[in-house]
Amino acid sequence: MQFFGGTSEVTLSPSVPSSIGTGPLGSNAYMLYLFNRNGVCLLYKEWHRPLKTLDSNQDQKLMFGLLFSLKSFTAKMDPTRVEKGNLGVPLLPGEGCSFHCFRTNTYKLSFMESPSGIKIILVTHPKSKDHRENLRYIYNLYVGNVVKNPLYVPGTAIKCELFNTSLDQYIQTSI
Amino acid sequence: MQNAELFTLTYGAIVRQLLTDLEDVDEVNKQLDQMGYNIGIRLIDEFLAKSNVSRCVNFKETAEVIAKVGFKMFLGITATVTNWDVDGSSCSLVLEDNPLVDFVELPDMCQGLYYCNVLSGVIRGALEMVSMKTEVTWVRDMLRGDDAYELRLKLLKQVPEEYPYKDDE
Amino acid sequence: MGREVSESCIDALITEMVSSYCNRFYVNKPEVSARRIEAIGYQVGIQLSERYTVERPRFSEHLEAIKFICKEFWSELFKKQIDNLKTNHKGTFVLQDNRFQWLTHMSINASAETTDSSQQEPHSPNSTTLDANLLQATSMHLYFPCGIIRGALSNLGIPCAVSADASNLPACSFVIRIKA
């Protein structure tokens, strides 16, 4: 697997190619993934993604792998901590430092993980703001409309209309 | 928050119906624990979302948070954490007050019933979702004549995150 | 008695009770699960009605008792009254709650919203059976409140049958048929 190769460069103030568009209704959101602690993709949504090169399974697996490796790398490189495992040694959830976003010249990826291992990934326009509050809000939407939905079976793909509508609405008005 | 009456009576009615349907006290204990576990794995996310707790890595801290914040949030009571063992891997949660048992008296036929078993299941389920495999057992039970409710929490292991897919798939 | 617990406790307990009966105890016997869930509600209804009618004179008419269910009883449970009451004056009453608390978190599939555009057939062959399953799952959650209403009225000396319709979430209509 090659996570840092290719054309994406991790940089703090990317120059944005003029060809980058925004999603429908002016939202900055490109796509969103929601994984549970077992790596099951409970939800994938996209609002703006012209380029589709992979089948969705493969795409989700790559995204999960990217985060998994990145977490491990960021913890390993943490200059402030004495105790850190070797690269590749599994971490306990919440152990070590955590990253919350990275940016390339074409997109920004924001990430949150709950102690229960729910991972929410939001991919947006590279110049969009800090999304930590938004991710927390989406976690709350997930709790209110999915976890508390008596018809939802934990660990299965999310198909709740209430969640879909409120998420869409939130993304379009707040991202 | 809402009046606890409906909750207490509903729980009582479920236990009674299970005793009728399953006809075996041990099986009822088992099913109450399983129901609790299933509730726990859902409730944990609501707890985390509402409490804003962002990491649960340390077992000692987590036990305190359950006792002080968790019990308060859901049942309106607090528990005391005591009796830590030397290596910090097991402790007791003591409840002096317990909304599950208002209006309850166990008839003689229910010897062996752990009436509150749902509670131990909830804690086990919730902790498992934050990567802590535990064993939760009742040590004291007021319905059995003890002076308090005491749950023993034993941390069996903390499960690290594994890459969930096989390579080359 | 003033003791309070979070709404989530009761929500979670009911969800898990329904799921235990339907998916573990009586798999593939939905009518047995339904009877057991209704029976649990019935017990709860009797006890609640007993508590809420202490120090209250007996109801002389059916309508009075039904109004009690719509107002005081419903308010104790859900902090709101039934929104609409209809009757045919022949022993049938329809109680409508426009936003029934136990259905507010419930929602089912909006099928077209999923990931793969290749799967976007609006009426795939499976969708009807899927809908039927979901409909049944939804209705399983209604036996408990139906049982509560039947228990409460039975405790007031009014034997009846109660059914419910929730085709318009989160609204719910309960139909009470009093037995002559």
CB-CB: which of B4, B35, B43 is closest to C8?
B43
Q: How far apart are CA B94 and CA B148, in angstroms?
A: 7
CB-CB: which of B10, B31, B118 is closest to C44?
B10
CB-CB: which of B5, B31, B35 is closest to C48?
B5
Largest CA distance in chain B: 60
CB-CB: which of B35, B74, B102 is closest to C9?
B74
Contacts of B124 (CB under 8 A, 6+ apart): B33, B36, B37, B40, B134, B135, B136
* Whether A150 and C106 lie within 8 Å, measured CB to CB: yes
Q: Which CATH number fits domain A25-174: 3.30.450.70, 3.90.1150.10, 3.30.70.890, 3.30.420.10?
A: 3.30.450.70
Global pTM value: 0.88
Q: Chain A residues within 8 A (CB-CB) of chain B?
A: 37-40, 61, 64-65, 68, 89-95, 114-118, 136, 139-140, 142-143, 147-148, 154
Distance from CA of A157 to the nearest CA of C (A): 10
pLDDT attached to residue A88: 67
pLDDT attached to residue C1: 53
- Please report the DSSP string for chain C in residue order: ---EE-HHHHHHHHHHHHHHIIIIISTT-HHHHHHHHHHHHHHHHHHHHHHHTTT-PPPSSHHHHHHHIIIIIHHHHHSS--SEEEE-SSSEEEEEETT-GGGTT-----GGGSS-GGG--TT-TTHHHHHHHHHHHHHHTTHHHHHHHHHHHHHTT--EEEEEE-SSTT-EEEEEEE--
Q: What is the arithmetic mean of pLDDT over C104-120?
A: 54
The two structure tokens encoding residue B130: 């934050």
Q: What is the average pLDDT score of chain A?
A: 82
**B131 Rama sector, left if φ>0, alpha if ψ -120 to 50, beta otherwise:** left
What separation, in Å, do the N-terminal and C-terminal C-alpha atoms of chain B show? Answer: 48
Q: What is the arithmetic mean of pLDDT over B120-130?
A: 96
Q: What CATH number has the domain bearing residue C30?
A: 3.30.1380.20
The two structure tokens encoding residue B128: 């498992």
Distance from CA of A90 to the nearest CA of C (A): 31
Q: Which chain C residue lies closest to B37 (C-alpha atoms)?
A: C16
- What are the tens digits of pLDDT across the range B81-109? 999 999 999 999 999 889 999 888 777 77
Q: How far apart are CA A128 and CA A121, in angstroms?
A: 14
* Whether A143 and B49 lie within 8 Å, measured CB to CB: yes
* Whether C110 and A45 lie within 8 Å, measured CB to CB: no
Distance from CA of C134 to the nearest CA of A (A): 8
Tell me the domains of chain B and their CATH numbers. 5-158 (3.30.1380.20)
- Is residue C149 within 8 Å of residue C45, measured between CB atoms? yes
DSSP, collapsed to helix, strand or coil, labels residue B149 as strand
pLDDT at residue B118 is higher than 50: yes
With cut-offs at 50, 70 and 90, classify the pLDDT of residue C109. low
Q: What is the arithmetic mean of pLDDT over B118-127?
A: 96
Distance from CA of B87 to the nearest CA of C (A): 33
* Whether B162 and A90 lie within 8 Å, measured CB to CB: yes
Q: Which chain C residue lies closest to A157 (C-alpha atoms)?
A: C114
With cut-offs at 50, 70 and 90, classify the pLDDT of residue A22. low
Contacts of B168 (CB under 8 A, 6+ apart): none
pLDDT attached to residue A122: 96
Largest CA distance in chain A: 48
Set of chain C residues whose Cβ sits within 8 Å of the Cβ of A150: 11, 14-15, 18-19, 102, 105-106, 141
Do strands B132-140 and A108-113 pair parallel, antiparallel, or not at all (unpaired)? unpaired
Specify if C115 maps to a domain: no
DSSP, collapsed to helix, strand or coil, labels residue B109 as helix
Q: How many CB pairs under 8 A join B and C?
A: 94
Distance from CA of C107 to the nearest CA of A (A): 5
Task: Identify the H or E element spanning A164.
Answer: helix A161-174
Set of chain B residues whose Cβ sits within 8 Å of the Cβ of A116: 44-45, 48, 129-130
pLDDT at residue C174 is higher than 90: yes
Specify if C91 maps to a domain: yes
Residue C48 burial (CB < 10 Å; 0-12/13-18/19+)?
Answer: buried
Range of the domain at C34: 7-106+135-178
* Whether B16 and C36 lie within 8 Å, measured CB to CB: no
Distance from CA of B85 to the nearest CA of C (A): 31
Interface TM-score (ipTM) > 0.85? yes
Set of chain B residues whose Cβ sits within 8 Å of the Cβ of C15: 39, 42
Measured in degrees and rounded to the nearest 5, phi and psi for residue A143 equal: -65, -50
Instruction: Please tell me which residue, C143 or B162, carries the higher pLDDT value.
Output: C143
Specify if C125 maps to a domain: no
pLDDT at residue A116 is higher than 70: yes
Percentage with pLDDT > 70 across chain C: 86
Residue at token pair 């959101």: A29
> Within 10 Å of residue C167's Cβ, how many Cβ atoms?
10
* Whether B4 and C1 lie within 8 Å, measured CB to CB: yes
> Within 10 Å of residue C62's Cβ, how many Cβ atoms?
18
**B82 DSSP assignment:** E
pLDDT attached to residue C138: 85
Q: How far apart are CA C147 and CA A172, in angstroms?
A: 43
Is B166 at the interface with chain A, CB within 8 A?
A: no
Q: Which chain A residue lies closest to B53 (C-alpha atoms)?
A: A115
Set of chain B residues whose Cβ sits within 8 Å of the Cβ of A94: 54-57, 130
* Whether B158 and A92 lie within 8 Å, measured CB to CB: yes
Specify if C59 maps to a domain: yes
pLDDT at residue B8 is higher than 90: yes
Q: Which chain B residue lies closest to A92 (C-alpha atoms)?
A: B160
pLDDT at residue C117 is higher than 70: no
- Neighbouring subunits of C (3+ Cβ pairs under 8 A): A, B
Domain boundaries, chain A: 25-174
DSSP, collapsed to helix, strand or coil, labels residue B52 as coil
Residue at token pair 């099928």: C111
The distance from CA C7 to its chain's CA centroid, rounded to whole angstroms, is 16
Q: How many CB pairs under 8 A join A and B?
A: 73
Interface mutation target, options A2, A139, A143, A158, chain B, most CBs of B under 10 Å: A143
A154: preceding bond cis by omega (within 30 degrees):
no
Distance from CA of C116 to the nearest CA of A (A): 7
Is C11 at the interface with chain B, CB within 8 A?
A: no
- Domain count for chain C, please give it: 1
* Whether C8 and A148 lie within 8 Å, measured CB to CB: yes
